[in-house]
């Protein structure tokens, strides 16, 4: 049965690539995914999905029903993308979806609309092949993955699925993997450190306490801390980076009384949010003990997000690290499925974070990345994806579904 999947996916080539182009041609900046959501809903209805709906926050769900006697697999993509930035940096129109030299070009071609098309059409392939599934094939497209870690995904799992009684036993993420299987990534916590001083006139700085100067030893200690962070044999080095610095009031001729820096901390297995905060707090406590004018605090950064359907929440900028092993049962099934259709995937990990942090890092359900897209093009003005890989990924996703849910 699996031997026919390559032939079936090749027969769908024109349709799946045209759909990929249409996805790229449909802007869906974070918080503005409604048009794309409606487009994917109509496509899944056209392709014969048994159940299709948009939930209260704006996530899209499409289900091909199994017999109910086996495990279900959820395929996931996020619908939003980052801003194209300066258009003069682009060789091709970011919303053109042009095909040149075997690649489809445009914003989100590699993050994640090519993978989205391959996942949605994998369901169509299963329908066309008449494959009986014991569990369900579930496609989900979530909102606002880019600005707020796991906002749409958490709502999908904690609210929508819980209310509707939908369960799944594994997730396949469409985030870029270059046709390999990705098995984890570091966690992330974004912290804000604030030093506080006292304003004075810029002509008499001795009358104030400059909050920026109080931040300088903090930055020096943060650099030293980075050099001491641990390493994970698979996920790599834990890291710490200063990404934003700001001061207030921020006017000429006045000494700033507040300085804030944002720290991007990447966590490996065994590290927790409390560990990361505690390391910074130890620095602040030590500096305060040596300087009576030193006042500072550290907090996890939060952002307020509102979906295109009006659902709002404060989102903590924190994601758990996670990884699964190459000999995990779900990974073995994925390898067997891809080998059966002639694909020979390697293993890897993402440098960036994904919504799989909620599925595996929080819920404990295995997540595996499989995608036609390449990570190096994500968020760049060179955004593109190889057309042949999109077609191959349709067959690959369908084969994986048969191995897990069939």
Name residues whose C-beta falls within 8 Å of residue 282's C-beta, 6 or more positions apart in sequence: none
Q: Is the pLDDT of residue 148 over 90?
A: no
Q: pLDDT over 90 for what percent of the chain?
A: 98
pLDDT digits (tens, 9 = 90+) for 290-318: 999 999 999 999 999 999 999 999 999 99
| pLDDT at position 397 | 98
Same fold, 2-185+321-405 and 187-304: no
| pLDDT at position 1 | 75
Mean pLDDT of 36-64: 98
Listed residue (54, 69, 10) closest to 311, CA to CA: 54
Listed residue (132, 163, 133, 129) closest to 59, CA to CA: 163
DSSP assignment of 169-221, as one string? SEEEE-S--TTSEEEEE-EEEEEEEEEE-B--BTT-GGGSB-HHHHHHHHHHH
The domain made up of 187-304 is a member of CATH 3.40.720.10: no
Mean pLDDT of 48-58: 98
Mean pLDDT of 340-344: 97
Listed residue (335, 367, 326, 336) closest to 76, CA to CA: 367
Q: Is the pLDDT of residue 205 over 90?
A: yes
Q: For residues 337 and 290, give the distance between their C-alpha atoms in angstroms, rounded to a whole number.
A: 61
Q: Tell me the fold of 2-185+321-405.
A: Aminopeptidase (3.40.630)
pLDDT class of 406 with cuts at 50, 70, 90: confident
Q: Is the pLDDT of residue 249 over 80?
A: yes
**Cβ atoms of residues 77 and 156 within 8 Å:** no
Domain chopping of the chain, boundaries: 2-185+321-405, 187-304
Mean pLDDT of 18-41: 98
Listed residue (400, 394, 289) closest to 11, CA to CA: 394
Listed residue (159, 46, 22) closest to 98, CA to CA: 22
């Amino acid at each position: 049965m699996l031997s026919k999947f390559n032939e079936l996916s090749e027969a769908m080539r024109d349709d799946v690539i045209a759909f990929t182009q249409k996805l790229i041609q449909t802007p869906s900046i974070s918080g503005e995914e409604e048009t794309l959501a409606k487009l994917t809903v109509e496509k899944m209805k056209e392709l014969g999905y048994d159940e299709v709906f948009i939930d209260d926050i704006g996530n899209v769900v499409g289900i091909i029903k199994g017999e109910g006697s086996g495990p279900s697999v959820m395929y996931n993509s996020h619908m939003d993308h980052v801003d194209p930035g300066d258009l003069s940096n682009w060789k091709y129109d970011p919303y053109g979806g042009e095909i040149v030299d075997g690649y489809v070009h445009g914003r989100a071609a590699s993050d994640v609309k090519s993978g989205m098309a391959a996942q949605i059409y994998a369901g169509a392939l299963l329908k066309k092949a008449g494959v009986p599934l014991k569990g369900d094939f579930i496609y989900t497209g979530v909102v606002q993955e880019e600005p707020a870690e796991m906002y749409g995904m958490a709502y999908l799992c904690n609210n929508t699925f819980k209310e509707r009684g939908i369960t799944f036993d594994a997730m396949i993420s469409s985030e870029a993997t270059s046709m390999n299987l990705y098995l984890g990534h570091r966690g992330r916590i974004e912290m804000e450190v604030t030093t506080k001083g006292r304003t004075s006139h810029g002509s008499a700085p001795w009358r104030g306490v400059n909050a920026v100067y109080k931040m300088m030893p903090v930055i020096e200690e943060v650099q030293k801390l980075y050099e001491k962070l641990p390493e994970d044999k698979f996920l790599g080095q834990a890291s710490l980076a200063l990404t934003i610095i700001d001061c207030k009031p921020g006017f000429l001729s006045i000494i700033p009384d507040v300085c804030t820096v944002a720290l991007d901390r990447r966590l490996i297995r065994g590290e927790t949010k409390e560990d990361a905060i505690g390391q910074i707090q130890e620095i602040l406590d030590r500096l305060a003990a040596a300087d009576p004018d030193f006042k500072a605090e550290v907090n996890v950064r939060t952002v307020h997000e509102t979906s295109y359907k009006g659902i709002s929440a404060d989102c903590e900028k924190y994601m758990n690290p996670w990884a699964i092993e190459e000999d995990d049962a779900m990974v073995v099934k994925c390898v067997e499925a891809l080998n059966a259709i002639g694909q020979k995937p390697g293993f890897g990990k993402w440098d960036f974070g994904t919504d799989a942090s909620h599925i595996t890092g929080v819920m404990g359900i295995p997540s595996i990345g499989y995608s036609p897209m390449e990570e190096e093009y994500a968020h760049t003005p060179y955004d593109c994806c190889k057309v042949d890989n999109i077609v191959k990924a349709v067959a690959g996703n369908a084969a994986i579904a048969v191995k897990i849910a069939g």
